[in-house]
Amino acid sequence: MSQKESLNKLLEEQLPVVYSFLSKLGKRIYFPSSGIMAQAKEAKSASSNASIGIALNDDATSLSLSGVSSRIDLHSSKIFPYASSFGLQEFRENWVGQMLKKNPSLSFDNCTIPVVTSGLTHGLFICAQMFFGGETEILMPDLYWGNYKLIFEVNVGAKFVYFPFFVEQKFNLSALKKELFSLDKAVLLLNFPNNPGGYSLLDDEQDNLVELILNYANSGRQLLLICDDAYYGLFYESNVAKESLFARLADLHENIVVVKVDGPTKEEYVWGLRVGSIVVGNKNMSNASAKVIEDKLAGLVRSSVSNVSNLSQNLLVELYRSENYFIEKKQAFELLQSRYLEVKKWLNNNSDHKKYFEALPFNSGYFMCIKLNEGLDCEFVRQELLKKHSVGLISIKQNNLLRVAYSCLRKDEIKKVFEAIYFVCKLHKV
């Protein structure tokens, strides 16, 4: 039996629900158990190790040029060699620790250990390659990151089915319920805090969603839920659910498979370093079936990027070790929260903005969205703001929205930006 066949056999026997969600590629992929990587791993402690395609100095340190090494205060072994396709072990352990701290109800008993991806996008892409093919329909809210289209629809060939995100300023659970229960088997993609909306579920909304999903599973139907937790942790209100849906659902029911894609990118303010993570959870996951899934995910990493920047992963390990990590992270949170509150304040103090636009509900993350009233076109308003007021926003045509990344604005700028939006809307309202 080939390695691929034995991986699939194990998964089909021990965790048929995950196997049933695999795409054709998800079934094909494996991490070569006897290839270069596996042999190089065995050779790691050989006194003469000529297994791997790098170059060493005579003292067995990595060959390197000082134009690079002199810029970085880390040992060369943390910069130049390749990291494993599974990810740097220390980073993976740190990331598990972070997840456990943030999600007290999570245990790692029935989910995989993080496989490190080249940023959040790569985590979503790996997930898409693993589970979605030309025939997959993905149910998701009508507020979503624009790049989802390119990742899931254009590249992987899946198809989105939308439900309306909000009803009466709340998460539209009944719309989701209607769509979900029309399906015999479902794939659901949720992103909290949401990009572009900046909304996270409130405690009671999350409870209701968990109950809904449990009911679906109890009806004998299988669900694959993708949690895009890119902006995790930036929750500015006390009634926002603080745990990831992943933590609530990973151990809930044998029919529920949950994938968590997250990473330090937004949480640790390291956008340009390109480090993300993907984990998969299911109530019946054993160590053996978890290993099969990790192997398949690492096979997708190996076949798309080989491995993720060793330097970036080591910088993050150093970050978690650094003395000021908690205090600086708290300061950063408070800075962003103060901007959030400033936006809220302007909206409350200037309620006549509702003649021209309304703010969609928001409570977390980097963004908030403005829904323009009829007679105003978001792309036109965006261009006017840019040309006449030197204010840069993002327009989202399908919902006639403007996305404001208040994470980029000084408190004193926020008033100016919203007044400019108000001014342009007032001037051009038909």
Region 223-252 residues binding a second copy, contact defined as CB under 8 A: none
Question: Closest Cα to residue 184, out of 130, 143, 220?
Answer: 220
* Cα–Cα distance, 178 to 25 (Å, whole number): 31
Half-sphere exposure of 415 (CA within 13 A, CB side): 5
* Region of 91-99, 221-229, 246-254, 402-410 interacting with a second copy (CB under 8 A): 402-410
Nearer to a second copy by Cβ, of 195 and 244: the residue is 195
Residue pair 20/287 in contact by the 8 Å Cβ criterion: no
> Residue 228 and residue 120: Cα distance in Å, rounded?
8
Question: Which tokens in the block code for residue 158?
Answer: 């899946």
CA distances from 424 to 242, 360, 374, 398, 413 (A): 37, 19, 14, 20, 17
What residues pair up with 187 in beta bridges, in sequence order? 224
Q: CA quadruple 84, 90, 92, 93: dihedral positive or negative?
A: positive
**73 near a second copy, judged by CB under 8 A:** yes
Q: Residue 252 phi/psi, 5° resolution?
A: -85, -45
> Counting contacts by CB under 8 A, is residue 43 touching a second copy?
yes
Q: Which of residues 360-399 bind a second copy (CB under 8 A)?
A: 366-367, 379, 382, 386, 389-395, 397
Among 14, 110, 208, 303, the residue binding a second copy under the rule CB under 8 A is: 303
Residues 9, 1: contact at Cβ < 8 Å?
yes
Nearest distance in Å: CB 210, a second copy: 28
CA dist., res. 75 & res. 254, Å (int): 45
Give the footprint of a second copy on residues 269-298 (CB under 8 A).
269-274
Spatial distance between the Cα atoms of 290 and 11, rounded to a whole number of angstroms: 9
> With CB under 8 A, what is the number of residues at the site for a second copy?
122
Q: Are 263 and 123 in contact (CB under 8 A)?
A: yes
Q: Nearest Cα to 195, choosing from 238, 152, 140, 156?
A: 140
Nearer to a second copy, 186 or 417 (CB): 417
**Options 10, 74, 173, 252; binder of a second copy; rule CB under 8 A:** 74
Cβ at position 37, least distance to a second copy in Å:
9
- In the list 15, 187, 404, 425, the residue contacting a second copy (rule: CB under 8 A) is 404
For residue 69, what are its two tokens? 């090494």
Toward a second copy, which CB reaches closer, 66 or 348? 66
Site string for a second copy, 312-341 (x = CB under 8 A): x--xx-xxxxx-xx--xx--x--xx-----
Q: Which is nearer to a second copy, 210 or 305 (CB)?
A: 305
Single residue of 262, 268, 342, 384 touching a second copy by CB under 8 A: 268
Q: Are 299 and 33 in contact (CB under 8 A)?
A: no
- Is 130 a binding residue for a second copy by CB under 8 A? The answer is no
Nearer to a second copy, 122 or 353 (CB): 122
Q: Which residues contact 314 (CB under 8 A, 6 or more apart)?
A: 74, 78, 79, 88, 90, 91
Residues from 132 through 161 that contact a second copy (CB under 8 A): 145-147, 149-151, 154-155, 157
Q: How far apart (Å, rounded) are the C-alpha atoms in residues 175 and 163?
A: 6
Q: Please tell me the distance from the alpha carbon of residue 59 to that of residue 147, in angstroms, as a whole number.
A: 46
Q: State the nearest-atom distance from the C-beta of 88 to a second copy, in Å.
A: 10
Residues 104-123 that bind a second copy (CB under 8 A): 118-122
Q: Which residue, 179 or 413, has its beta carbon nearer to a second copy?
A: 413
- By CB under 8 A, the residues from 49 to 68 that bind a second copy are 49-58, 60, 62-68
Residue with smaller CB distance to a second copy, 197 or 281:
197
Closer to a second copy by Cβ: residue 50 or 430 = 50
Least CB distance to a second copy at residue 41 (A) = 10
- For residue 128, which of 159, 96, 85 has the smallest C-alpha distance? 159
Q: How far is the CB of 387 from a second copy (least distance, A)?
A: 10
Between 39 and 218, whose beta carbon lies closer to a second copy?
Answer: 39
Residues 174-213 that bind a second copy (CB under 8 A): 195
For a second copy, which stretch binds (CB under 8 A), given 5-13, 41-49, 97-105, 167-175?
Answer: 41-49
Please identify, using beta-carbon distances, which residue of 148 and 163 lies nearer to a second copy. 148
The total number of residues shown for the chain amounts to: 430
